[in-house]
Amino acid sequence: MRERLEALRKEALAGIAAARDVRALQELRVRYLGKKGALTEILRGMGSLPPEERPRVGELANEVRRALEAALAERQAALERAALEARLSAERLDVTLPGRPIPIGARHPLLQVIEEIEDIFIGLGFEVAEGPEVESDYYNFEALNLPKGHPARDMQDSFYITEEILLRTHTSPVQIRTMEAKGGAVPVKIICPGKVYRRDDDDATHSHQFMQVEGLVVDRGIRMSDLKGVLLAFAREMFGADVAIRLRPSYFPFTEPSAEVDITCVMCGGRGCRVCKETGWLEILGAGMVHPDVLRAGGYDPEQVSGFAFGMGVERIAMLKYGIDDIRHFYTNDVRFLEQF
Ligand code: 2NL
């Protein structure tokens, strides 16, 4: 019996030492120490021993039990420690690693130019006004001295939604609305930036949808020289202190007199180059003195007040400022283009 107990101890200790995980250990515990385990089995045979041997065999059996229990506990602790180590090293996290950079977008170049234009005019005392892109025929045309039948109102040239409603073709309707809202009060000194729509075929210099900034000043005694001074100040801030401007006679239905405004060529400084077609000048905007009919539509008496107005295409300004050769770059959203601003 002693030999059987010793053999059991040896075999069980070897098994415990070799156990690869906690489950294997549990199986061993059941196999040797369980109710139907090997140790119990041996103890059951104690009855056949002579009575004087029983205490010593019983003591040995207890010793084996304690030894196995101790070995099981120790092995279990070792396996758990190893499992924890493995998990810790597998899930190692270096909290000092720099984070992955998140790609950050940039402000669209057109928006940047619009804000630059706004800042310049705000510095000159103007306020920024905005309004709807879907307009009535009245605000977009009628109030601007463009009566029904006028060639500029051709159905072919505008995006009509109904006979009376269309996508605005300029931001002038915002200026009419602003004048109306003033109820005849002066001064009016606003710029109106925003998206406008014209039914054009897109090419390098035309887009059916583009950005415009218009300006309007109405007050007592406003003269053409005020227009010239404001536009010169704008041109110098936008394109450089040594830039000059030139006004050429032109025609717009909503201004009289009207002018096209040039700046000295930003590419050649006025000497003449391909960009300015050897003229030394670049056209940047249209302007004029507000037509009396338009002042009346805005609720003003042209006998009492006068005004000037101007309008520019933001894309054209941005293209000249940054040397961009195709208006479509602004709308195709190629990040290699957009990232440069
Ligand atoms: C251009 C020319 C212009 C205006 C816009 C305007 C607005 C009112 C009254 C009178 Cl409410 N005029 N706007 C005047 C002259 C020219 O735009 O070439 N734009 C891209």
- pLDDT of 150 reads 86
* pTM higher than 0.85: no
Burial class (CB in 10 A: 0-12, 13-18, 19+), 104: exposed
Ligand 1 binding pocket includes 175 (Cβ within 6 Å): yes
Average pLDDT over residues 229-252: 97
The CA–CA distances, whole Å, from 257 to 191, 218, 248, 310 equal 20, 15, 11, 12
Q: Which atom of ligand 1 is nearest to the CA of 212?
A: 20
Task: Give the total number of structural domains in the chain.
Answer: 2
Question: At 280, which amino acid appears?
Answer: G
Bridge partners of 135, per DSSP, are 166
- pLDDT of 295 reads 98
> Distance (Å, rounded) from C-alpha 313 to C-alpha 113?
11
Rg over alpha carbons for the chain, rounded to the nearest Å, is: 45
Please tell me whether residues 135 and 76 are part of one structural domain.
Answer: no
- pLDDT of 133 reads 98
Side-chain-facing half-sphere of 94: CA atoms under 13 Å: 4
Identify the residue whose C-alpha is closest to ligand 1 atom 6: 309
pLDDT band at 271 (very low <50, low <70, confident <90, very high): very high
Give a yes or no: residue 265 inside a domain. Answer: yes
Q: Residue 282's Cα: distance from chain center in Å?
A: 34
State the DSSP string of 78-127: HHHHHHHHHHHHHT---TTSPPPPPP-----HHHHHHHHHHHHHHHTT-E
Give a yes or no: residue 103 inside a domain. Answer: no
Please tell me whether residues 167 and 240 are part of one structural domain.
Answer: yes
Binding-site members are 256
Count each helix (H run) and each strand (E run) in the chain, helices first. Answer: 12, 9
* Residue pLDDT, tens place only, 30-84: 888 888 888 888 878 888 888 888 888 888 888 888 888 888 889 888 888 988 9
Please, what's the b/e burial string for 164-178 (b: 16 or more CB within 10 A of its CB; e: otherwise)?
Answer: eebbbbbbbbbbbbb
Please tell me whether residues 77 and 220 are part of one structural domain.
Answer: no
Q: Does the structure show a pLDDT above 70 at 2?
A: yes
Please tell me whether residues 166 and 61 are part of one structural domain.
Answer: no
* Residue pLDDT, tens place only, 152-189: 787 678 999 999 999 999 999 999 999 999 999 999 99
Please tell me whether residues 135 and 258 are part of one structural domain.
Answer: yes
- pLDDT of 69 reads 87
- Whole domain around residue 7: which residue ranges? 2-90
Residue spans of alpha helices (H) in 124-203: 137-140, 172-182
Q: Which atom of ligand 1 is nearest to the CA of 288?
A: 15
Domain of 204, CATH number, reads 3.30.930.10
Give a yes or no: residue 247 inside a domain. Answer: yes
- pLDDT of 155 reads 67
Please tell me whether residues 152 and 268 are part of one structural domain.
Answer: yes
> Distance (Å, rounded) from C-alpha 130 to C-alpha 108?
19
Give a yes or no: residue 95 inside a domain. Answer: no
- pLDDT of 331 reads 96
pLDDT band at 19 (very low <50, low <70, confident <90, very high): confident
* Residue pLDDT, tens place only, 295-333: 999 999 999 999 999 999 999 999 999 999 999 999 999
Identify the residue whose C-alpha is closest to ligand 1 atom 12: 309
- pLDDT of 152 reads 72
The CA–CA distances, whole Å, from 119 to 87, 185, 237, 313 equal 59, 25, 10, 17
Residue that finishes a domain, picked among 28, 55, 90: 90
- pLDDT of 43 reads 78
* Residue pLDDT, tens place only, 192-226: 999 999 998 999 999 999 999 999 999 999 999 99
Please tell me whether residues 328 and 191 are part of one structural domain.
Answer: yes
Length of the chain: 341
Most ligand 1 atoms within 8 A of CB, residue of 172, 227, 260, 319 to mutate: 172
Say which residues have a Cβ less than 8 Å from residue 116's Cβ, sequence separation at least 6: 238
Please tell me whether residues 73 and 133 are part of one structural domain.
Answer: no
